[in-house]
Amino acid sequence: MSATRYTYLGPEGTFTEAALRTLPEAATRELVPMVSVPAALDAVRNGDAAAALVPIENSVEGGVTATLDELASGEPLMIYREVVLPIAFALLVRPGTKLSAIKTVTGHPVAQPQVRKWLRAHLPDALWESAASNADGARLVQEGRYDAAFAGEFAAATYGLEALVTDIHDAQNAETRFVLVGRPARPAAPTGADKTSVVIWQREDHPGGLLELLQEFAVRGVNLMLLQSRPTGEGIGNYCFAIDAEGHISDRRVGEALMGLKRICPEVRFLGSYPRAGVEAGDVGGVRTGTSDADFTAASDWLARCQDGRP
């Protein structure tokens, strides 16, 4: 395995690359762009890279399905950290292009919902076609296949384009969350501001089935930060659920919630416990009464005394 190589959703000039370069270790790694999320993750699976950074959630469009589906299937991988990047688009064109001359535009499918209102207001007749990534859209504009691309302003220089319009976003404070994914290993020690990710499958579809799964978290005071259903590919109505929970697998409340899920689910895939981006331990509120590690230890000690016949 190449311990010095990180892959990411390319080509050069993507928001994913910008997010990856915010990590201190990126300065000492070989950063290799890949054509797709599956390609970036497969490089980790087959040992060509130590880790991959891929988008997983957008504050406007929700979960990035390609990443969620890849993490839910195939050889297991694990999330080790996350990066949250503010997102604003620029309209990149070949030098000299006027707004009135733009008839075709491109960008990543996740970008379209974030610029839809702007397009309707300024380019109502332009035809949108999706690209593999925003930077790939910029490359296609460079090649003359489209008139304009929505991408990060920083991609303009890479592809010999100019930013005709900047700071485009329908929703203020739009963000995308990226995850650094590697092969499974022992999770890093808890920081006090952590997140645990899993994918779970229902044993059978029945009234209250999802409630039963969620109660494993609720009764232990574990707050959920993401819940998204994804089809399993085994027919209409068959779903798995991607879940982000507040806390670390070493926290008793989180560990026992996962054990509870394992008892009632045919499969639980642990995707990792890792630090929350931009959150310090002091920013996290206290756990609910009765759900701290000390509370679990006290309850366990009480049960042992009862079993031993001690008062």
139: confidence class by pLDDT, cuts 50, 70, 90: very high
pTM over 0.95: no
> How large is the average pLDDT for residues 69-97?
94
Q: Which domains does the chain carry?
A: 89-168 (3.40.190.10), 186-310 (3.30.70.260)
In contact, 148 and 57? CB cutoff 8 Å: no
pLDDT at residue 214 tops 90:
yes
> How large is the average pLDDT for residues 169-181?
91
Q: Is the sign of the CA dihedral 245, 178, 276, 29 positive or negative?
A: positive
The whole-angstrom separation of Cα 132 and Cα 36 is: 7
Q: Is the sign of the CA dihedral 303, 307, 309, 310 positive or negative?
A: negative
The whole-angstrom separation of Cα 271 and Cα 199 is: 7
